[in-house]
Amino acid sequence: MSITKVFAPAKVNLTLHVTGQRRDGYHLLDSLVVFADVGDRITVMPAEANRLEVIGPRAAGVPTDGTNLVARAADLFGVPVHIVLSKHLPAAAGIGGGSSDAAATILALSDLIGDTRLPEGVSELGADVRVCLMRQAARMRGIGEDVAPCPGLPPLFAILANPGVDVPTPEVFKALEDKQNPPMPKRIPQGMKAGAFIDWLATQRNDLEAPAIARSPVIRDVLDALADLPGARLARMSGSGATCFALFETEDAARAGASALAQAKPEWWVEAAKLS
Ligand SMILES: C[C@](O)(CO)[C@H](O)COP(=O)(O)OP(=O)(O)OC[C@H]1O[C@@H](n2ccc(N)nc2=O)[C@H](O)[C@@H]1O
Ligand SMILES: Nc1ncnc2c1ncn2[C@@H]1O[C@H](COP(=O)(O)OP(=O)(O)OP(=O)(O)O)[C@@H](O)[C@H]1O
């Protein structure tokens, strides 16, 4: 066994339609999910006993004990490992930090032990873990367990912005008044250029945006600031927030916008990213 390094990309919900609620309280979703080229990094090494180190610019406040999703994912394999988690994504931010870290840990351990079969208990780690294991554009339905690749989308240039407020996912779902909303159309358009695809995305929704803004009004400020940037074609919240994204037709426009926003709002987390 040797050292394995895996990137854990930010997950972005380009759309998030809440279409119903199950008896156990979990919500039914229809979401178009893509992944960014910004994310956390996981290094896994064989060890005598389990050990987890959390380092990096966004490590503060992230659990370092057995509750970290990385530790919980590693436990599913029953093999002692030393894991270094380098946090670059804000936590409790709607971009799947913990879920993507858990998925990356599963991929790293599968590689280390040379067995690509998924262990029991993956779904219990979180609703977003399945889609994060795919690491490519996907349509996610059910409560998150029904994931299908969604090929043929154009690469999108984006800014991700988070104002620094933690938004606990259960609170946002609970505050959603109307749980029965229309799904996305049966077919998601394929083969479109970025501009036309962004126009189509604008006809879709994130149903958690309103309840998240009601709880944390600063999210409205983030959306407004993103929408005002030159060349921004669409601003929307990801997941249950508070991270929002703006989409641009060119990489230059996204990079220029990210620099301007980071300067105007130094207390926010702001990153230019390519989504695919
Ligand atoms: C909002 C999304 O980020 C969209 O991608 C996900 O659905 C949430 O994924 P996650 O953070 O991995 O969620 P989990 O850790 O499994 O669930 C956190 C809480 O969110 C609520 N939850 C989550 C997923 C879902 N389909 N319905 C829900 O109602 C439940 O109250 C649950 O206790
Ligand atoms: N590896 C991890 N990184 C960040 N937070 C973690 C991790 N493991 C456990 N946590 C805990 O999980 C909580 C939720 O963090 P996470 O970054 O997964 O956000 P999220 O908004 O639920 O993501 P999602 O987009 O899937 O809804 C944090 O407040 C933190 O206490």
Distance from C-alpha of 95 to C-alpha of 260, rounded to nearest angstrom: 22
Per-residue confidence (pLDDT) for residue 1, from 0 to 100 = 55
pLDDT at 67 over 90: yes
Determine whether the shortest distance from the Cβ of 101 to ligand 1 is under 6 A. Answer: no
Over residues 158-178, mean pLDDT: 96
Q: For ligand 1, atom 19, which residue shows the shortest CA distance?
A: 170
Give the angle 63-127-161 at the CA atoms, nearest 5°: 65
Average pLDDT over the chain reads 97
Q: For ligand 2, atom 8, which residue shows the shortest CA distance?
A: 68
Quote the percentage of the chain above a pLDDT of 70: 100
Which tokens hold the place of 94?
Answer: 């709607």
- Domains in the chain: ranges and CATH: 4-147 (3.30.230.10), 152-275 (3.30.70.890)
Determine whether the shortest distance from the Cβ of 135 to ligand 1 is under 6 A. Answer: no
Give pLDDT tens digits for 83-121: 999 999 999 999 999 999 999 999 999 999 999 899 999
90 alpha carbon – ligand 2 mean position (Å) = 9
Minimum-distance ligand 2 atom for the alpha carbon of 69: 8
* Residue 259 annotated as part of some ligand binding site: no
Give pLDDT tens digits for 223-234: 999 999 999 999
Residue 44 phi, psi dihedral angles, 5° rounding: -120, 130
Query: Nearest ligand, CA of residue 69?
Result: 2
Per-residue confidence (pLDDT) for residue 33, from 0 to 100 = 98
Over residues 191-197, mean pLDDT: 97
Which residues contact residue 199 at a Cβ distance below 8 angstroms, ignoring those fewer than 6 apart? 233
Q: For ligand 1, atom 26, which residue shows the shortest CA distance?
A: 143
23 alpha carbon – ligand 2 mean position (Å) = 25
Residues known to be catalytic: 11, 128
* Residue 73 annotated as part of some ligand binding site: no
Per-residue confidence (pLDDT) for residue 2, from 0 to 100 = 84
Neighbours of 168 (CB within 10 A): 11
* 51: nearest Cα among 92, 80, 28, 88: 80
* Residue 230 annotated as part of some ligand binding site: no
